[in-house]
């Protein structure tokens, strides 16, 4: 979101803007939204677009919540939060020399680490939701059925874990990627058996579309979770923007580098918090998976003919969707440790060995236990 805005105004210019001006830019994005458009906004926000603070077109779609989840897994929020804390409470990180650093510190604290002004779409802090970190984790679990891969200060991070959640998201998404890889691998296979199954890809895409849209309220543009997603994406995109390029802020904190993950690692060293070892892959995955899930939610691959766009035309013909899928398959495998390109191993009766004979009465007990397990 803010990285896209930086493409128009320049990243060096954007990180120097005061919080009020950045908030105005965010509000114009919200006012031009396609997601949750049925929920009325405030009339005074419409005048901000005319003053050049944001997009003038309608139907703007910001990054998917998965973007915020993957970026936050790098631990950038925890590390940069600690940087701001140290800068506000002492000189452990040395006194900044550049005016840009003071401007960025103030804007970041006012935008994302204060209670925020009321009425703004980017403000979701209240007496009922006092900690944005808990609010984001709750949303991640509802949408994807997973927690972040780190807690707080090396320990668990308690939050309100919802009973209703897409706990099947990860296995369904990984099966979708496996089937897509199989199709890409065999796209030029003209001789012999071809295990490509566009129907299976479409079925998995439809299952993902259904579960994700159900959490939103029944469609890709329904309002449920929209404001939480908007705030999470805005926050993580602001931190991602800082790490995208060498700038005065990173120079002051002695954290310049050649890549986002290297800059983050150096910031982490300064405050004693190690970044995630898979940060390189997380930074690559975040925008790519975001774009893919937005397409899936919109039904782009939910019928076999449309699913073929993920692997046809075959190389050497250009196919951006295929290239995006390959990037996701590669880096998802790296951060999870599960090789999505490997052929599934189906145990045979001979390899599994004979089944043990249950004791008398065990069958009845087993049946009773199965009946007592709630449906997922």
Tell me the two tokens of residue 179.
Answer: 């089937």
* DSSP one-letter string for 164-194: S--TTHHHHHHHHHHHHHHHHHTTT--SS--
Is the pLDDT assigned to residue 372 strictly greater than 70? no
Across 13-22, 183-192, 338-347, least confident range = 338-347
Q: What pLDDT score was predicted for residue 42?
A: 54
CA 213 to mean position of chain CA atoms: 16
Q: What pLDDT score was predicted for residue 53?
A: 47
| 8 Å CB contact between 146 and 172 | no
Cα–Cα dist 141/314, whole Å: 36
Average pLDDT score over residue span 352-374: 43
Q: What is residue 345's three-state secondary structure? A: coil
| 8 Å CB contact between 53 and 280 | no
Q: What is residue 119's three-state secondary structure? A: coil
pLDDT, greater one: 349 or 4: 4
Backbone angles phi, psi at 189, to 5 degrees: -80, 105
Q: What pLDDT score was predicted for residue 35?
A: 79
Q: What pLDDT score was predicted for residue 153?
A: 65
Q: What pLDDT score was predicted for residue 367?
A: 39
152 forms beta bridges with: 155
Average pLDDT score over residue span 78-89: 96
Question: What is the helix (H) or strand (E) element at residue 142, kind and residue range?
Answer: helix 132-144
Is the pLDDT assigned to residue 21 strictly greater than 90? yes
Distances (CA, A) of 185 to 175, 275, 315, 341, 372: 15, 34, 10, 9, 43
Average pLDDT score over residue span 101-112: 96
Cα–Cα dist 274/263, whole Å: 12
Q: What pLDDT score was predicted for residue 366?
A: 38
Q: What pLDDT score was predicted for residue 290?
A: 97
Q: What pLDDT score was predicted for residue 80?
A: 97
Q: What pLDDT score was predicted for residue 40?
A: 62
Q: Residues near 354 by Cβ (< 8 Å), separated by ≥ 6?
A: none
Sign of the Cα torsion 42, 46, 52, 58 reads positive
Cα–Cα dist 316/145, whole Å: 38
Average pLDDT score over residue span 99-120: 88
Tell me the two tokens of residue 346.
Answer: 């189906």
pLDDT in tens, 242-280: 999 999 999 999 999 999 999 999 999 999 999 999 999
Q: What pLDDT score was predicted for residue 48?
A: 47
Cα–Cα dist 36/226, whole Å: 6
Backbone angles phi, psi at 108, to 5 degrees: -65, -45
Q: How confident is the model at residue 350 (pLDDT cuts 50, 70, 90)?
A: low
* DSSP one-letter string for 17-86: S-HHHHHHHHHHHHHTBSTTTTS---GGGHHHHHTTSS--SS-B----HHHHHHHHTTTHHHHHHHHHHH
* Domain residue ranges in the chain: 65-343
pLDDT, greater one: 137 or 44: 137
| 8 Å CB contact between 110 and 122 | no
- Percent share of the chain, pLDDT over 70: 84
Is the pLDDT assigned to residue 355 strictly greater than 60? no
Query: How many C-beta neighbours within 10 Å does residue 45 have?
Result: 19
Tell me the two tokens of residue 86.
Answer: 């140290």
- Percent share of the chain, pLDDT over 90: 69
Q: Count CA within 13 A, CB hemisphere, residue 90.
A: 5
pTM of the model: 0.87
DSSP E strands, the chain: none
pLDDT, greater one: 270 or 365: 270
Is the pLDDT assigned to residue 206 strictly greater than 70? yes
Average pLDDT score over residue span 330-356: 75
């Amino acid at each position: 979101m803010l990285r896209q805005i930086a493409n128009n105004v320049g990243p060096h210019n954007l990180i120097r803007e005061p919080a009020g001006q950045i908030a105005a830019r965010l509000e114009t994005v919200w006012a031009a939204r396609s997601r949750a458009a049925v929920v009325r906004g405030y009339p005074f926000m419409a005048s901000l677009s005319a003053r050049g603070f944001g997009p003038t077109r309608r139907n703007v779609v910001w990054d998917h919540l998965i973007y915020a989840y993957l970026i936050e897994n790098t631990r950038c929020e925890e590390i940069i939060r600690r940087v701001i804390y140290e800068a506000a409470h002492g000189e452990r990180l040395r006194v900044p020399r550049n005016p840009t650093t003071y401007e960025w510190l103030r804007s970041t604290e006012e935008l994302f680490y204060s209670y925020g002004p009321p009425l703004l779409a980017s403000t979701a802090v209240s007496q009922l939701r006092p900690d944005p970190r808990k609010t984001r984790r709750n949303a991640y679990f509802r949408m994807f059925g997973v927690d972040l891969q780190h807690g707080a200060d090396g320990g668990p991070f308690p939050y309100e874990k919802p009973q209703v959640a897409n706990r099947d998201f990860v296995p369904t998404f990984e099966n979708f990627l496996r089937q897509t890889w199989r199709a890409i691998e065999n796209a030029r296979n003209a001789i012999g058996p071809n295990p490509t199954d566009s129907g299976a890809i479409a079925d998995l895409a439809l299952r993902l579309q259904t579960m994700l849209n159900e959490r939103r309220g029944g469609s890709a543009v329904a309002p449920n979770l929209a404001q939480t997603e908007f705030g999470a994406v805005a926050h993580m995109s602001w931190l991602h923007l800082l790490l995208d390029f060498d700038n005065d802020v990173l120079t002051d904190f002695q954290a310049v580098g050649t890549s986002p993950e290297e800059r983050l690692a150096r910031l982490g060293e300064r405050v004693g918090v190690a970044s995630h070892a898979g940060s390189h892959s997380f930074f690559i995955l975040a925008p790519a998976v975001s774009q893919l899930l937005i397409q899936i939610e919109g039904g782009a691959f939910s019928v076999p003919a449309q699913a073929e766009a993920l692997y046809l035309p075959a190389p050497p013909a250009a196919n951006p969707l295929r290239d995006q899928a390959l990037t996701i398959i590669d880096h998802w495998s790296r951060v999870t440790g599960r090789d999505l390109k490997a052929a599934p191993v189906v145990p045979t009766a001979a390899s599994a060995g004979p089944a043990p004979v249950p004791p008398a009465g065990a069958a009845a007990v087993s049946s009773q236990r199965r009946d007592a397990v709630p449906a997922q």
